[in-house]
Structure 1
Amino acid sequence: MPRFRFDAFAARLIPRLLLSAAILGASLTPEAKAEPHPRQSVTVLAVNNGQEVLVDLGDQARAVRLACVQAPLAQQQPWARLASEQLQRELPVNSEVILELRARDVYGRLVARLLIEDNDVAQPLLRQGAVFAYDGYLGRCDDLPYVDLEAQAKNASRGIWRVKGGLERPWDLIEASGGMLTP
């Protein structure tokens, strides 16, 4: 699985990430800030794609990227559509979920696990082969069973793992595009 590489792009992003962390800290409740992975109840407003949802966080609509997974890109049909549909089934609009904050990404999104009654909504996506396990630049995914769930889907040829020769990894497409494609 790819890891974050320090390069000129990363050097430009570090100040933005530090500023983002300060802004993010201001939007969480004091109780949420005290936890190692702060948790807060939010309401799902929309599913944007197979890895991103819009939630109501303190009367603000905020984009949340699911932590440690990568959905197929919009250019990778029908897989991107199937991932989005699967996430919509897991997260109906107006459902109350727990947001477990992991980070904030370079696009300004919160990066988090979303839980319904302590069930991680990303796990069924991985089991069905709708998304890839991906720690990317976060490197904060070791406490999650995502790689094992992905391996089970791959061994059973589910979803994206049915593609003969394998579906090109979205992060490879993004890198090859010189950043023109976005997750």
Structure 2
Amino acid sequence: MQKFLNALPLLAIAALIWFHFQRPNNDQPKLAKRPSQTESLRCQVVSNSIYDGDTFRVQCDGREQKIRLCGIDAPETKQPLGIESRDYLRSMIAKAFNKVIVIEMDRDKYGRTVAEVLLDKPDGEQSVQEEMLKAGFAYHYKQFSGNCHNRDVFDTAEDIGRSQKLGVWRLPGGGERPWDYRKQNKS
């Protein structure tokens, strides 16, 4: 019994260390899950092809395609925080060595693949949409998230960004929504 009591502080320290390393880097819980029984492709993001916070090009199985992130809408590059949103997406993808998992949901009217995308990192998969929303660099685009497997997660992730006043949530009223901006600036 005495040996057990002597080892107790070491066990407590070991447990704390184990729990610490089980947490994601940003101290936020990962909410999104990879949909089961859904076809996915491991792809490489094409260098210098991240256009804004929700659109980029990938190469999958030798074929290049333009990806539009399902269920979110990021500020346009001419909007406040548009460049920051794009750069945040670039940095996330760079940390995953430009490797992503694309889960195709649909095609949009511009021929882009609408997909949920996961960063394919050595320490595990991470939802791009969830991270963009939690950081406040995108809005949940509810009108176009019906096919997204993790649409419910997107609400929670957006609430995290809003409650912490991150990104667009620092702007008065949460800033102008990109869909409203596009309507106002049609040429």
Give the TM-score normalised by structure 2.
Answer: 0.69
Which structure has greater helix proportion? 2
In our comparison, the structure showing a higher alpha carbon Rg is 2
| Structure 2 Cα separation of the partners of residues 99 and 122 of structure 1 | 12
Quick check: 1:73–1:80 contact (8 Å CA) kept in 2?
yes
Q: How many residues align?
A: 144
What is the CA-CA distance between 1:36 and the residue it aligns to?
Answer: 5.9
What is the CA-CA distance between 1:126 and the residue it aligns to?
Answer: 0.9
Quick check: 1:83–1:130 contact (8 Å CA) kept in 2?
yes
| Structure 1 Cα separation of the partners of residues 75 and 53 of structure 2 | 8
Matches of residues 124-135 of structure 1 in structure 2 within 5 Å? 124-135=131-142
Structure 1 residues 96, 142: closer, same or farther in 2, change over 3 A? closer
**1:71 corresponding residue in structure 2:** 74
**2:19 corresponding residue in structure 1:** none
**1:89 corresponding residue in structure 2:** 91
| Structure 2 Cα separation of the partners of residues 40 and 167 of structure 1 | 34
**1:147 corresponding residue in structure 2:** 155
Task: Extract unaligned runs of 5+ from structure 1.
Answer: 1-34
1:43 and 2:50 matched: no
Quick check: 1:135–1:141 contact (8 Å CA) kept in 2?
no
| Structure 2 Cα separation of the partners of residues 64 and 171 of structure 1 | 18
Alpha-carbon RMSD across the aligned residues, in angstroms, is 2.1
Task: Extract unaligned runs of 5+ from structure 2.
Answer: 1-35
- Identity percentage of aligned residues: 25
**1:99 corresponding residue in structure 2:** 102
